[in-house]
Amino acid sequence: MRPIIAPSVLASDFANLQSEVEMLNNSQADWLHIDIMDGRFVPNISFGFPVMEAIKRHAQKPMDVHLMIVEPELYIERFRDAGADTISVHIEACTHLHRTVQQIKATGAKAGIAVNPHTSVQLLEDVIADVDMVCLMSVNPGFGGQKFIENTYRKIENLKNLIIQRNSQALIEIDGGVNQDNAPLLLEKGADALVAGSFVFSSPDPLQTIADLKAVK
């Protein structure tokens, strides 16, 4: 199956957000990946509701919202109202993860769990059957343009096994440092969706870069 491609708007030109979103509308991208950072869960602040709503006004594709914030349960409904189709919360940020997953699903959004590079996917054992997606971080969250962490391949294998064992429908999304070189092995190991920020937006021809990623087998 061809991969789901989710360009990260974080790497786009914020001064020309409308044209960046229109470029994604015209591309082979499947989703728009929206990175929300609070300066507490991660040492960086990205953007919040007003910017997300502005993106939503122009976006013709689903919005895949990655919350890198503490206490995400306080804002789930607002992110849904702002246009989120999938909402991913970090396992490291949720004391009552099962409850937060149900809270996301109650809004009608798909529920994802994001997992930092140091966190074992085995911790998902008792919740994997309830989620629509696991976002495996292949960099430490907080910044675009970082180097891909090679241990991610092993984590995909472990996660894939867990998903099969538990009869889960969860998709595996890879986030951070994804490019044309590592995409083939990520897919071979079992990834379903690839997030790409700087690789897409720093390329001379983002439309072609997205098409090339989409064509990876």
Q: Which residue is nearest to ligand DX5 (CB)?
A: 197
| Catalytic position from the list 64, 130, 132, 175 | 175
Contact residue for ligand DX5 among 30, 132, 175, 192 (CB under 6 A): 175
| 175 annotated as ligand-binding | yes
Alpha carbon 192 to its chain's center: 11
Q: Is 35 a catalytic residue?
A: yes
Contact residue for ligand DX5 among 28, 107, 146, 203 (CB under 6 A): 146
Site string for Zn ion, 137-176 (x = CB under 5 A): --------------------------------------x-
C-alpha distances in angstroms, 200 versus 32, 118, 157? 12, 26, 26
Residue with tokens 């591309």: 27
If one asks whether residue 203 binds ligand DX5 (CB under 6 A), the answer comes out as: no
Q: How far is the CB of 165 from ligand DX5 (least distance, A)?
A: 27
| 8 annotated as ligand-binding | yes
Nearer to ligand DX5, 72 or 142 (CB): 142
If one asks whether residue 90 binds Zn ion (CB under 5 A), the answer comes out as: no
C-alpha 173/C-alpha 160 separation (Å) is 11
If one asks whether residue 112 binds ligand DX5 (CB under 6 A), the answer comes out as: no
Stretch that binds Zn ion, among 21-29, 35-43, 143-151, 153-161 (CB under 5 A): 35-43
C-alpha 86/C-alpha 63 separation (Å) is 7
| Catalytic position from the list 35, 64, 130, 132 | 35
Q: Is 175 a catalytic residue?
A: yes
Q: Which does 11 bind (CB under 5 to 8 A by kind): Zn ion, ligand DX5, none?
A: ligand DX5
C-alpha distances in angstroms, 161 versus 134, 174, 202? 13, 16, 35
Q: What residues line the site for ligand DX5 (CB under 6 A)?
A: 8, 10-11, 33, 35, 66, 139, 141-146, 175-178, 195-199
> Could you tell me which residues are annotated as the binding site?
8, 33, 35, 66, 142-145, 175-177, 197-198
> Could you tell me which residues are annotated as the binding site for substrate?
8, 66, 142-145, 175-177, 197-198
